[in-house]
Chain A
């Protein structure tokens, strides 16, 4: 009996691939955020888990609801919806009513991602879009900060359980964030409190060092364009140092600027979202410098104590233009022939 030849495939070269896939890159970001998420549970107890869970539930529900029937499972499996929910949750105040957090996650995915055509097509960072929506709709709840529970894990902030569409139930136990303290009361929070998270603020922004740790992990895994966080942080340091030369009393010190508010969270995890940041190396520098300048401008001169969200969203809008004008020089072009 003559042996049959195998049926040969004609997949075109290259057959070899590196190991990384897009979902695994998304999961890497989730792992990188794990320490900061853990810290938020430590500081704010079960409320943190509830707020984060509501955001993720809202994001995943929107993802599931608006996906094609055929690709429904796939779009959930790439972990990008969970990531958006988690990132949004980390920017919210711990005492936020849960239904608002849920709505924020839902809107973030629906308006921030699905209507653009899904993963890879959106212009704005979905998590930040969700937060911008919440800040515009529920300004009081979004700026009511509560102090840490002080180790009581099961103490729920009463604000969390407010009924949907009733006025958010606000309690007297509120505490200003370091940026708010500086802006409205001229009180400077010590740097050690900022670095280790002993301040009030949104869930994920309180512990600067853990956020940096996750950033280093992402950098080692090559999931992150290091140029963006580096240029944002350098710009913020240089710009606030320059302002400090004029009036050291009124303007924040460079290190305070870096470790306060959502800057580290934004610079490492939000601004580096590959979809909404420039793809070219030079573009990444321009993007980062733009974000850094806008952050300080809004913080110092704007009406709000914090400006990271608007700074990143504004630069997101500029990304396609930056990309277009920063194409790298092609090998062999622009060199003189002999």
Chain B
């Protein structure tokens, strides 16, 4: 029966990278000591950048709001430390571009103690007030996209959310943040889930976890109260199980129509980290000022799962983990399949950064590229059933407009095609270039 259940909970296609999670899966989450410098980019979430409400030289407390939402698709920022605002200016971001940010210097003599605030009586809030509160808490999707969480909560009239789906798949190799959160803070997770479920008016909460985390599944099942409408669903280990549309397909068997959102099939999907952040805010009054980050990969001396204050430079995080091993060639922020390479150790850890992965020569060695032999492995890997082989050929000939007929905009850039390609063709990178070109051209034409 159990085996049948696993069979049922899957989506089609996808790939099976080695998961490499053993490095950090058993390491408890620990806290990084406070450093000196913190950089809080105003645009670390998807959408409109936040607007600063502090000035240079001003003293800020840990957890104090330092920037307010710049629009509806935007969230607030809070100071990760007690200290002084040193400067509001342009700093190098993760993508290598300069972007406005608030630099804070920590007060070396402050205790950095955060008194638990008064719990917020969320039950008495209306849905609109609740959405506003989530926005002011600065909560975003913690899986990597950093999409403001409150936007997903505001559903148009006539749309009903029946299921709250909590994403504990963590299908990216190396990362273990959600795994550790589910093991160490199951109560907070279930508490946050209950808040979200009641506010959304959903009938049930489903927590989807890949079967390579059996301990997390057990712990969650033990902590569920009999009266809570929560069930844990064991999902097949397959990348990208954690992509929300794939997870909906796995759990409910429904396909979200192209161009639509999970709410159109009556589902709201949130990451484990996001739900824990909701619980922290409404039960303990702590806004989003820190997050769990997995530091792993073959180039790091002591891999770890860490609570890192937002804005901490990667340099401090890596230093705490014993520094980089000689031969380090690349550092990825996020997972190895979809994360971003960083050019400098001075970029800060952001709300959407689930991992700092350090790779050495072996993983980054330039692979010889061969011509496409149309073997079809990318077609069998693509969870969206696109034709990556064709898309890559068109992209190489710069026939970007023709790519639209092959549904290039349905691509979510999960990287399965590049992973599967025996000819080492950088398919997803080519597609990304084409998509950038097409969207940019649209902006110019408009």
Listed in ascending order, the chain A residues whose CB lies under 8 Å from chain B are 5-18, 20-25, 74, 78, 118-121, 222, 225, 274-275, 277, 279-281, 323, 327-333, 335-338
Complex alpha-carbon distance, A307 and B407, angstroms:
39
Residues of B within 8 A of A338 (CB): 264-266
Whether A14 touches B330, Cβ cut-off 8 Å, given contacts A280-B387, A331-B383, is no
Are A335 and B255 in contact, CB atoms less than 8 angstroms apart?
yes
Residues of B within 8 A of A14 (CB): 17, 336-338, 415, 418-419, 428
Are B255 and A18 in contact, CB atoms less than 8 angstroms apart?
no
Closest CB-CB distance, B427 to chain A, in whole Å? 10
Are A8 and B419 in contact, CB atoms less than 8 angstroms apart?
no
Pick the contact of B371: A12, A121, A327 (CB < 8 A): A121
For B330-367 the 0/1 string (1 means CB < 8 A from A) is 11101111111111110000000000000100011001
Pick the contact of B410: A13, A20, A331, A336 (CB < 8 A): A331
Nearest opposing residue in chain A for B413, CB measure: A13
Nearest opposing residue in chain A for B16, CB measure: A18
Closest CB-CB distance, B365 to chain A, in whole Å? 10
Nearest opposing residue in chain B for A24, CB measure: B422
Complex alpha-carbon distance, A226 and B420, angstroms:
18
Residues of A within 8 A of B328 (CB): 6, 8
Are B422 and A333 in contact, CB atoms less than 8 angstroms apart?
no
Whether A332 touches B422, Cβ cut-off 8 Å, given contacts A8-B344, A21-B370, A338-B264, is no
> Is residue B180 within 8 Å, beta carbon to beta carbon, of the partner chain?
no
Are B373 and A17 in contact, CB atoms less than 8 angstroms apart?
no
Are A328 and B385 in contact, CB atoms less than 8 angstroms apart?
yes
Whether A119 touches B370, Cβ cut-off 8 Å, given contacts A8-B330, A10-B341, A335-B255, is yes
Closest CB-CB distance, B200 to chain A, in whole Å? 17
Are A332 and B384 in contact, CB atoms less than 8 angstroms apart?
yes
Are B258 and A330 in contact, CB atoms less than 8 angstroms apart?
yes
Pick the contact of A328: B339, B363, B379, B424 (CB < 8 A): B379
Given contacts A8-B342, A333-B257, 12 further A-B contacts (CB under 8 A): A5-B345, A6-B329, A9-B364, A14-B17, A14-B336, A14-B337, A16-B337, A25-B422, A118-B371, A279-B375, A279-B387, A335-B257
Complex alpha-carbon distance, A225 and B375, angstroms:
8
> Is residue B173 within 8 Å, beta carbon to beta carbon, of the partner chain?
yes
Closest CB-CB distance, A157 to chain B, in whole Å? 36
Are B410 and A332 in contact, CB atoms less than 8 angstroms apart?
yes
Are B15 and A331 in contact, CB atoms less than 8 angstroms apart?
no
Closest CB-CB distance, B173 to chain A, in whole Å? 6
- Interface hits, B363-392 → A, CB 8 Å: 363-364, 367-368, 370-377, 379, 383-387, 389-390
Which of the four size classes fits the interface of chain B? 35 or more
Complex alpha-carbon distance, A11 and B371, angstroms:
20
Q: Which 7 A-B pairs have the closest CB atoms?
A: A120-B371, A14-B415, A332-B258, A22-B370, A274-B375, A331-B384, A328-B385
Residues of A within 8 A of B260 (CB): 332, 337
Pick the contact of B329: A9, A21, A274 (CB < 8 A): A9
Residues of B within 8 A of A280 (CB): 376, 379, 387
Residues of A within 8 A of B386 (CB): 330
Residues of A within 8 A of B334 (CB): 13
Chain A, interface SS category? loop
Are B376 and A13 in contact, CB atoms less than 8 angstroms apart?
no
> Is residue B426 within 8 Å, beta carbon to beta carbon, of the partner chain?
yes
Are A9 and B341 in contact, CB atoms less than 8 angstroms apart?
yes
Complex alpha-carbon distance, A119 and B342, angstroms:
36
- Interface hits, B401-434 → A, CB 8 Å: 406-407, 410, 415, 418-424, 426, 428-429, 432
Complex alpha-carbon distance, A328 and B429, angstroms:
22
Complex alpha-carbon distance, A328 and B406, angstroms:
10
- Interface hits, B180-202 → A, CB 8 Å: none
Are A13 and B341 in contact, CB atoms less than 8 angstroms apart?
yes
Complex alpha-carbon distance, A41 and B375, angstroms:
31
Residues of B within 8 A of A16 (CB): 17-18, 173, 336-337, 363, 419
Are A21 and B424 in contact, CB atoms less than 8 angstroms apart?
yes
Nearest opposing residue in chain B for A337, CB measure: B257
Complex alpha-carbon distance, A13 and B374, angstroms:
22
Closest CB-CB distance, A265 to chain B, in whole Å? 20
Closest CB-CB distance, B54 to chain A, in whole Å? 31
Are B385 and A331 in contact, CB atoms less than 8 angstroms apart?
yes
Residues of A within 8 A of B407 (CB): 330, 333
> Is residue B256 within 8 Å, beta carbon to beta carbon, of the partner chain?
yes
> Is residue B291 within 8 Å, beta carbon to beta carbon, of the partner chain?
no
Are B422 and A12 in contact, CB atoms less than 8 angstroms apart?
no
For B28-53 the 0/1 string (1 means CB < 8 A from A) is 00000000000000000000000000
Residues of A within 8 A of B429 (CB): 12
Are A8 and B264 in contact, CB atoms less than 8 angstroms apart?
no
Residues of B within 8 A of A337 (CB): 257, 260, 264
Residues of A within 8 A of B377 (CB): 222
Complex alpha-carbon distance, A78 and B340, angstroms:
32
Nearest opposing residue in chain A for B386, CB measure: A330
Residues of B within 8 A of A335 (CB): 255, 257
Residues of A within 8 A of B249 (CB): 331
Residues of A within 8 A of B371 (CB): 22, 118-121
Residues of B within 8 A of A333 (CB): 257-258, 407, 410
Residues of B within 8 A of A327 (CB): 387, 406
Pick the contact of A17: B265, B419, B428 (CB < 8 A): B419
Are B373 and A332 in contact, CB atoms less than 8 angstroms apart?
no
Subset of 16 A-B contacts with CB under 8 Å: A8-B341, A9-B329, A13-B335, A13-B337, A13-B339, A15-B332, A15-B363, A17-B367, A17-B418, A18-B422, A119-B373, A279-B375, A330-B385, A330-B386, A330-B407, A333-B407
Pick the contact of A331: B255, B265, B336, B363 (CB < 8 A): B255
Residues of B within 8 A of A279 (CB): 374-376, 379, 387, 389-390
Complex alpha-carbon distance, A281 and B387, angstroms:
11
- Interface hits, B1-33 → A, CB 8 Å: 15, 17-18
Are B373 and A331 in contact, CB atoms less than 8 angstroms apart?
no
Closest CB-CB distance, B159 to chain A, in whole Å? 9
Residues of B within 8 A of A121 (CB): 371
Closest CB-CB distance, A117 to chain B, in whole Å? 8
Complex alpha-carbon distance, A21 and B373, angstroms:
11
